[in-house]
Chain A
Amino acid sequence: MRMKLLSVFAVVALLAACETAPTDGQAGAGTGGVQSTTAPAPAPAGPTPGTNEDFVVNVGDRVFFAFDSSELTAEARTTLEKQAFWLRKYPQTTVTLEGHCDERGTREYNLALGERRAAAARDYMVSLGVDPSRVTTISYGKERPAVLGSNEEAWAQNRRSVTVIN
């Protein structure tokens, strides 16, 4: 399933790249540029609504945290509100919230901190009306950085909770 989704995503991404490159600024809009193709059977542009790709591109799948903190920033709340709205629109979907940390902590503490971040994100989504049974959490501590590099920019992007559509 995961493999299939990935390959669909790859094709869609390629199409999107072809179509949006000339017009610029349409990336992520989800509808732009279709009419400009001459193909007889136009493929839908952008991710299929309701998929993880749709969620990543059109909602935003992750929120970020300050060092050694699990407090939700205003920006994080806005993202989670959009996520909750999306989840109400697709009531059949369930999600896993993955909590992550930067590399500047010890392994076991970071496992706990990652769990605390995922729980903070989940609690907020539940407070917005998302059924708790649709949300599970997992912590990877510092095991799965999103961005390479031992520098502040990378660490800021690695202190995150990522919402993955199951």
Chain B
Amino acid sequence: MEKLHDHVRSEGHAVLTPHTPVRPVAEPSRADLSRRGLGRLALGGALAGGLAGGVAGFARPAAAELRIDITQGRVEPLPVAIADFKGQGIEATRIGREVAGIIRADLERSGLFAPIDQQAFIQTDLEFDAVPRFGDWRLINAQALVHGRVTELGNRQVRVDFRLWDVFAEQYMTGTTLTVIPESLRRAAHIIADMIYKRITGEDGYFDSRIVYIAEEGPQNRRRKRMAIMDQDGANHQFLTDFGTLVLTPRFSPTHQEITYLAYYNNKPRVYIFNLDTGQQEVLGDFPGMTFAPRFSPDGNQVIMSLARDGITDLYRMDLRTRSVTRLTNSTSIDTSPSFSPDGTQVVFNSDRGGSQQLYLMDSNGAGVRRISFGQGRYATPVWSPRGDLIAFTKITGGEFHIGVMRVDGSGERLLASGFLVEAPSWAPNGRVLVYFKQQRTDSSGRGGESKLYTIDLTGYNERELVTPLDASDPAWSPLLR
């Protein structure tokens, strides 16, 4: 048997602190987790170069890096073997199965990976401290192998170890150790899935994140809405408000455990902040009219929003520390749905100042307004990608709604999803996936009108429903948890 330490030179170790559903988890820091697995660092440029425009395959020279080039169009999912993590005893065995299942589901849902059915596995005696029999895994065409170990440490502490192997190059790629309490096991699995995603695609993952949205029920003319939050895979679902007050358009703070949203408390539509640590809700400012369409600045210290008064809707910025308010636009038009660039220097918004709804950019102090959308139809709800290079939007044209993306200068428009009513894109923290909602037609007796969340890859492939207990709208993705 090969010696393991020839393959595994360094692995990180992180401790996950208790995770209650609405409380943030302080550790591990992402930096700690990325400091692991030395593997081979050279990137597979040769592989990437050969795939332009086509469907990526996985025939590769032995020396090439195992890598999914996600800069291409459609990518054929990479076959990966993810074995149930092993443990001593019933409970550790159960946990090992659960953790592996969550990792499989995350990777499969991304559309970039195809987990292989465990029934096909030839090597069933994987030992955590031994090198796998790569030949057995090549036979079932596994390009990568993930296995792991669960150890109960007592005092409700569980240690989870995992390793990722490049089957064809017979190389260790990455691994880590996480120490968690049972409530944090799902997070541990998501963090492992993120590490696998990052090691193979070269881009940050997004599985250790959450989605806040508006849960809905009832006929369209008596619709009831409440705010809810869940993990990005739909687990740990929780309602944050009740049906008593209309709430709309929640958005995460990039830096704090806070959500900004619109609520109709006392029949006064105003922007509020919901603190996820305390459950407290606080109205933002004392404005002489309806405030709405809030979004945080990238540093989390400001909220930009619309104020509607006397038939005019302009954009304002509030500093959350000093509570000072700055007016950014001063037109007689509707200026709304503002979104900061990730460096905080610019704002994209939609305005009907030119006659119909179009997208405009301005400096974050309100100067230098310029139009960027010029296509047919109306453009709305622009959201700047966390990577900075793209703006996602809703477009209304030809009697349909579409979700699309364009470059920051307005060029390169691509429509990704379409339907009777498709609205409100929000970016995954890695800027690779969008979540939005689709609402169906209603007939005159009120049948139909179902509203559901969907995710789609930036390439326009892999549209998936994100299942929620009730109808759903206005989704917003969190940053990666910390």
Which residues on A are within 8 Å of B, measured CB to CB? 68, 70, 103-109, 111-113, 115-116, 119-120, 123, 138-139, 143-151, 154
Contacts and interface: CB of A to CB of B under 8 A. Distances in A.
Contact of A150 (B248, B308, B443): B443
A119 B474 CA distance: 27
B142 to A, nearest CB: 45
B342 to A, nearest CB: 21
Contacts, number: 103
B441 A150 contact: yes
A111 B308 contact: yes
Given A106-B380, A116-B334, A148 B219 contact: yes
Interface of B: 219-221, 223, 246, 248-249, 262, 267-269, 289-290, 292-293, 306, 308-313, 334, 336-337, 350, 352, 356-357, 380-381, 394, 396, 420-421, 423-424, 439, 441-446, 448-449, 474
Contacts of A120: 311
Contacts of A116: 308, 311-313, 334
Contacts of A105: 380, 396
Given A103-B421, A105-B396, A107-B474, A143 B223 contact: yes
Given A104-B396, A115-B290, A115-B311, A149 B306 contact: no
A106 B444 contact: no
8 contacts: A106-B337, A115-B309, A120-B311, A138-B290, A143-B246, A148-B446, A149-B443, A150-B441
Nearest to B447: A148
Nearest to B381: A106
A112 B308 contact: yes
Given A104-B396, A139-B269, A148-B444, A112 B221 contact: no
B397 to A, nearest CB: 12
Given A70-B311, A119-B311, A106 B394 contact: yes
A113 B312 CA distance: 9
A109 B337 contact: yes
A108 B269 contact: no
Contacts of A154: 444
B453 to A, nearest CB: 15
Nearest to B442: A150
Given A108-B293, A146-B221, 16 more contacts: A103-B439, A105-B380, A106-B337, A106-B424, A107-B423, A109-B334, A111-B293, A111-B306, A112-B336, A116-B313, A119-B311, A138-B269, A138-B290, A139-B290, A139-B308, A149-B444
